[in-house]
Structure 1
Amino acid sequence: MVSFLLIISFLLHLITLAAIFQLVKKIPASESDTASDEIVQALERSLAEIKEENNRLQALLDHKEPVSEKKIQSKIKKESTSDKQRVPVKNEKPQDDIDRLLGTDSGYKVEASLESRVLQLYAAGKNVEEIAKTLNCGKTEAELIIKLYNQ
C-alpha cells in the first residue's frame, strides 16, 4: 500500500513539473525586455544629465579669468581690512565700559590675520620658507594659504 502511494505521489510530481515547465515556456520574453528597456532608458537619461552638467562646468571653467597680480593685491587688502582681530593692550588709565565693549577705545589694537600677513609677504616677493619663519607658522600652512588665494 505504501509503495502504491509513493508511485502516485511520484507521478503527480512529474505532472506538476511538466505543467510548470509548459507555463514557463509560454511566458513571453517581451515582459523581461520591457523591464530592461526601462532600465536602459533611465540610465541614458542619467548619463545625459551628467554630460550636461559636465559641459556646463567646463564652460564655466573655460570662461574663468586667470588670476592677476591686481586681484591678489585686492584680496590682500580685503583680508587685511576685513579679518581684523582685536587684541587688548594694557592701558594705565581706566576706560569707559561701553567703549571697551564696542572696541572704540584706544586700549585695543588691530592685528591682521595670518592669511593676510602670508599674502602680504608673498606679494612682497618672499618665498614660502621665509614667510613661515617670519610668521612662525608651518611651511605647508603658508603654502596652502598661497595656493588657496591664487585660484
Structure 2
Amino acid sequence: MIYFLLFMSFLLHIVSFILIKTFRDKLKEVDQLETTQKQNVKEMEDLLAVYLLEIKDENEKLVKVLQENEHVQRKEKKRQPISSHVKEDMYTVEDREQKEADNTLQNVERKTTKRKEEYNDYNPPIDRMEQQDVLEQSTSAKVMSLYEQGNSVEAIAKKLDCGKTEVELLLKFHRKNS
C-alpha cells in the first residue's frame, strides 16, 4: 500500500511539474507578444512623428508662399490707377436698379429652364441585375502598382494628386508589412 501511495505521489508530482512548465511557457509567449506590440507601437509613433514633422515643414513653406503672394497682390493693388474707382462711382442708381432687375430675371429664367430639363431628362430606374459592379483600387494599391512600374515618388504623387510624403509613407508601410 505504501508503494502505491508513493507511486501516486510521484505521478502527481510529475503531472504538476508538466503543468507548471506549460503555464510558464504560455506566460513567456504572452510577455514576448507584449514586447513586440510595444515595439510596433513605438515604430508607428516614430513614423507618425516623422510624418507630422514633414507636414509641418510643408505647411510652413506653404504659409511663406501665401504670404509672399499676398504681399505681391498688395503691391499690385497699390499700383492700380484710381480711375477704376471713379468709373464705379459714375453709375447712377437707375443703372444699378436696372442691372439688379436684369440679374433677377436671368436667375428666374435659368431656374425654370433647369426644372424643365430635369423633368425632360427623367430616366426610369435600371434593374440591379443589369448594373455591373465597378471596382476601384485603393490609393495604396495604386501607389504600389505605379511604383512597381518604375515611376518615381514625385511622378506618383502628381498622377494620384496626393502629397509626396504620403506616397513615401505608403511605400514605407508596404515595405515593413512585406
Same-fold status (TM-score > 0.5): no
TM-score, normalising length: structure 2: 0.31
Task: Point out the structure with the larger helix share.
Answer: 2
Work out which of the two has the higher radius of gyration on C-alpha atoms and give 1 or 2: 1
TM-score, normalization by structure 1? 0.36
